A and B are shown apart, each in its own frame.
Chain A
C-alpha cells in the first residue's frame, strides 16, 4: 500500500476551475440561444470566428509556453509538439472559450467578419496572452477585443434587427440619443427593451436570458455579487439624479422611465453580470471589489451622458480593470473595511455625481 506524504490540509472543498468555467458557459447558454434565434447566420459568424480564433490562440500559447528549452540537441517536430500537447488541459480550452463567447455576444451581429476576426485576435493576444495567459491578464479580453474592433471598424457595422422585432428602429437605442437629447426616450417601450425587441448588439439585448444566467451564477456562486451590486447600484444612483434633472427640464420624460431605460438599454446588464465580475481582472478583497464596481458604474454614466460614444460599458470596465491593481496594492490593501475604503467609495460616487449634476444644470442643453 502506498502512503503519500503531503502538507496539511488534507481535504478540499468540492469545486474546481473546470466547473467554474462550465458554469459560466451554462449561464451564457440562454443568451447564445436567443442570439441564434434573433440573428441566425449573422450571429453564427460571430460565434464561430471568436471561439475558433481565441481557443486556437490559447492552444498555440500553451505550445509555446511548454516548448523544449534549448539544450544543444535537435528535437524532431513531433517530440516538440507532443511535449506541449501533454500540458494542454481542458481548462486551457474552456477559459478562452468563455472569453470568446462573451466577446461574440457583445459584438453587434451586423459587424463585418474581418472586424470580428481582428477584434478577437487583438482581444486574446493583447488582452490576455502577452500578460502570461490565464490568471495574469490585467484587462478583460472580451472587452479589449470589442473596444479594438469598435475603434477600428466601427463605421463598417450595419444595423440589423432581431428576427422577432417588429419595430422599425434603425439605430440602436443608445445610438439614437446623441449627447444630451433625451426627448425620444419615450419612443422605446420598457417591455421591448426588456425582451430585446430592439436592434443592437446580439447578446446584450436579451435581458431575460441575462437575468436567468445571473440567477444561475448566483446559485452556483461563481460570481461575486458585490461587484455586480456596486456597479449597478452606483450607476442607478447617478442616473437617478440625472433623471430628476432631465425630468425638471423635459417634463414628458418620467424619472422612473428614464432610470429604467438607462438600466435596460445597452450592455449594462450583460457587463454587470458577465464582464465586470471576471475574477481575474477584479481586485482580490471585498472592500476593493465594492470600490471597483462603483468606479466602473460611475464611468459608465459619465461616458453615456457626456462621452463621444453612445455606450460606455466596455470602456468603463477596462478603466476599472486598470485601477484594480492599485486598489489591492499591498501597502494599503486589507480584507477588512478600513477608513480609506469608505472615504474612497463615497468620494468615487459622490464627487462625480456633483460634477454631473452641475454639468447637466449649467452645461449642455438638454433637449
Chain B
C-alpha cells in the first residue's frame, strides 16, 4: 500500500469507558534511585529507618538539575533491590515495607487560599522543584525548568490528547478529576499571569467534550476554553498540538515559549495542583493495563512504586500464555519494550501494554513505495536515511537531517516490507551527532 498513515486505530473504546479501580497498596513499594535523565543519586536514609509518606528520602542528580526522591508510603526502609526500569536498564530500587498507615510527613500541609494567592512565580518554581514534579506524559522532564522561562507567556495549553493507541490513563483522569485539571490550569495561568488557557482533547472524544463544556460554564471568568483538535497520530506531539490549537507553526529547534505558549500534560497539571495546594509530591497515578495479551484490561489508580506484576495479577494474568508476548511500558508506538515483566510503576509509566506476537513478519527488501516518506510528520525521508546509514555515509546522513526526527514510529508502522525503519533513523541520529 502506498499511502500516508495518519489515522491509526486507537483501540480505546472499551477501556476509555471502564472506571478506574483503586487498588490496595502492596506490602512492598519500590522507588527508583536513578532514571534516564539522572544517572547519579544519593539516599539519605539508612536500612531499618522508618519513613513517612511523602518524606524526602534522597536526591537524584541529573546533568543540570537535581530531583528529590520521595517515599510514597509510610513504613520501613529495607535496602536496595535491582529491577528493570522503564528506560530498559536494570536500576537500583529503594525497597520500603508498607505499614499500611500512610502516616503523612509534616512537610505536607494545606495552603490556605490567601497563601496561595500570595505566591509568586518564583515560589511556584521552588515548590514544584521541591515536590519533584516532572512531565507525567512520559517525558519525565522536570517541570520547574519550564517555569523558569524568561519569555512572556500568554497561552497555557493542556495536552489531554493522548494520541497513542491503547493508552487511556489521561482519558480517565480527565473524566474523573475534571475539577482538579481546571483548578490546576487556573493556578498555572496565575503563576505565568497568562491570559488564556486551552484544554486540548481529541475531537472524537465526545464524553470528555461534554463534561468540560458543562464544567467550564461554572468557571465563567477563568478564560479557559476547551479546544478539540484532530484525531490523528501524532496529534499529541507538542508542535502538532500547538498547530492544531492555535494555528502557530513552531519551527523545529525552537521552544514553544518563544511564541508565548507553554504546554503541560493533564497528569502533570493535576500533580502541580497537588504540589501547590497541599505541598504534596505525586504519589499516585493512573495506569492503564491493557493489550490483547491481558485477561481483563483495566484502569488502575496506583501508588507510585507498585510492582507491575502485582497489577497484572489484579487483571487476571496473561491471556494465552503459550503465545510469545511483547511487554511495553508506555504506548505501543513509542513505548519501551522490556525483556521481562519484573518492573516497577514509576511516576512516568502511563500504561502497561502486553501484545501477542504469534509470528513475526519477515523483513522483505525495500520496494521504495514511499509510505514512510508520506507518513513522516516532520517531513523527513526515512528510507533515504536508512540507505545512507546502510552505506555508512556520514555526510549524506547529516544532509538528510535526521535530528529533526521525533521517533513517532510511523515509518516502521507504515512500512510495506516490514522493515524497522525507525531503528535506522535512530542510528542516523547518533551518526549525525558525531563531529
A: residues with CB less than 8 A from B are: 1-13, 15-17, 20, 89, 91, 133-136, 220-224, 279-280, 282, 284-286, 289, 328, 330-331, 333-336
Residue-wise, chain B 316-357 has the 8 Å CB interface mask toward A (1 for contact) of 001001101111100011111111110000000000010101
Q: B262 on the interface (CB 8 Å rule)?
A: no
Q: Is the CB of A17 within 8 A of B368?
A: no
Which of B101-109, B239-247, B416-424 has 4 or more CB atoms under 8 Å from chain A?
B416-424
Tell me the minimal C-beta distance from B40 to chain A in angstroms.
26
Pick from B2, B326, B369, B417: contact of A10, CB under 8 Å: B326
- Cβ of B268 within 8 Å of any chain A Cβ, yes or no, is no
Q: How far is the CA of A285 from the CA of B325 in the complex (A)?
A: 36
Q: How far is the CB of A135 from chain B (nearest CB, A)?
A: 4
Q: Which residue of A lies closest to B385 (CB)?
A: A330
**CB atoms of A12 and B399 under 8 A apart:** no
Interchain nearest-CB distance for B350 vs A (Å): 14
Please state if A221 and B412 are interface contacts (CB–CB under 8 Å).
Answer: no
Asked, given contacts A11-B413, A17-B416, A333-B381, whether A3 binds B333 with beta carbons under 8 Å apart, the answer is no
Report the Cα distance A10→B354, complex, angstroms. Answer: 10
Is B5 part of the contact surface with A, judged by Cβ < 8 Å? yes
Q: How far is the CA of A3 from the CA of B370 in the complex (A)?
A: 32
A221 and B2 form a contact (CB under 8 A): yes
Cβ 8 A contact of B361, one of A1, A16, A136, A280: A16
Chain B hits for A221, CB < 8 A: 1-3
Tell me what chain A mostly uses at the interface: helix, strand, loop, or mixed: loop
12 contacts between A and B (CB under 8 A): A1-B322, A2-B324, A3-B325, A8-B335, A8-B336, A9-B334, A20-B367, A134-B365, A224-B370, A279-B2, A279-B370, A331-B399
A280 pairs with B368, CB closer than 8 A:
yes
B362, CB-defined interface residue at 8 Å: yes
**B396 interface residue per 8 A CB criterion:** yes
Secondary structure at the B interface, as helix, strand, loop or mixed, is loop
- Output the least CB separation between A335 and chain B (Å): 5
Task: Tell me if A7 and B327 are in contact (CB < 8 A).
Answer: no
Taking CB atoms and an 8 Å cut-off, the chain B residues in 378-409 that contact chain A are 379-381, 383-384, 388, 396, 399-400, 407, 409
A9 touches B333 (CB 8 A): yes
Cβ A279 vs Cβ B368 within 8 A: yes
Q: Are A135 and B366 in contact (CB under 8 A)?
A: yes
Contacts of A15 in B (CB 8 A): 1, 416
Knowing A284-B370, A334-B379 touch, does A3 contact B341 (C-beta < 8 A)? yes
Residue B364 lies at the interface, judged by CB distance under 8 Å to chain A: yes
- Is B169 part of the contact surface with A, judged by Cβ < 8 Å? no
Whether B30 sits at the interface, judged by CB under 8 Å, is: no
Does B373 sit at the interface, judged by CB under 8 A?
Answer: yes
Q: Are B380 and A335 in contact (CB under 8 A)?
A: yes
Bound complex: CA A331 to CA B407 (Å): 23
A99 → chain B, closest Cβ, in Å? Answer: 12
Contact of A335 among B5, B355, B362, B381 (CB under 8 A): B381
Residues of chain B touching chain A, judged by Cβ–Cβ distance below 8 Å, are: 1-3, 5, 8, 165, 318, 321-322, 324-328, 332-341, 353, 355, 357, 361-362, 364-370, 373-374, 376, 379-381, 383-384, 388, 396, 399-400, 407, 409-410, 412-418, 420, 422-423, 426
4 other A-B residue contacts (CB within 8 Å) besides A11-B165, A333-B384? A3-B339, A8-B333, A9-B410, A12-B415
* Other-chain contact of B423, A7, A13, A284, A335 (Cβ < 8 Å): A7
Question: Once the chains bind, are B2 and A223 in contact (CB under 8 Å)?
Answer: yes
Give, as a whole number of angstroms, the nearest-CB distance from B3 to chain A: 5
Q: Which residue of B lies closest to A282 (CB)?
A: B368
Of the listed residues B324, B365, B374, B417, the one surrounded by the most CB atoms of chain A closer than 10 A to its CB is: B365
A89 cross-chain contacts in B, Cβ below 8 A: 362, 364
CB distance from A65 to the nearest CB of B (A): 11
Provide the bound-state CA to CA distance between A220 and B380, in Å: 25
Whether A9 pairs with B413 at a CB distance below 8 angstroms is yes
Residues of chain A contacted by B165 (CB below 8 angstroms): 11
Known: A4-B324, A11-B332, A330-B388. A16 touches B418 (CB 8 A): yes
Q: Are A284 and B381 in contact (CB under 8 A)?
A: yes
Among A10, A20, A286, A333, point to the contact of B416 (Cβ < 8 A). Answer: A20
What's the Cα separation between A273 and B1 when bound, in Å?
A: 15
B97: min CB distance to chain A, Å: 28
With a CB–CB cut-off of 8 A, which chain B residues contact A11?
8, 165, 332-333, 355, 413
B400-A220 in contact (CB<8A): no
Distance A8 CA – B426 CA, assembled complex (angstroms): 11
Query: CB-CB < 8 A to B338: which residues of A?
Result: 3, 5
Choice from A4, A10, A284 contacting B335 with Cβ under 8 Å: A10
Q: A284 touches which one: B332, B336, B357, B383 (CB < 8 A)?
A: B383
From B321, B334, B407, B412, give the contact of A1 (CB < 8 A).
Answer: B321
> Which residue of the partner chain, among A279, A328, A335, contacts B369 with CB atoms under 8 Å?
A279
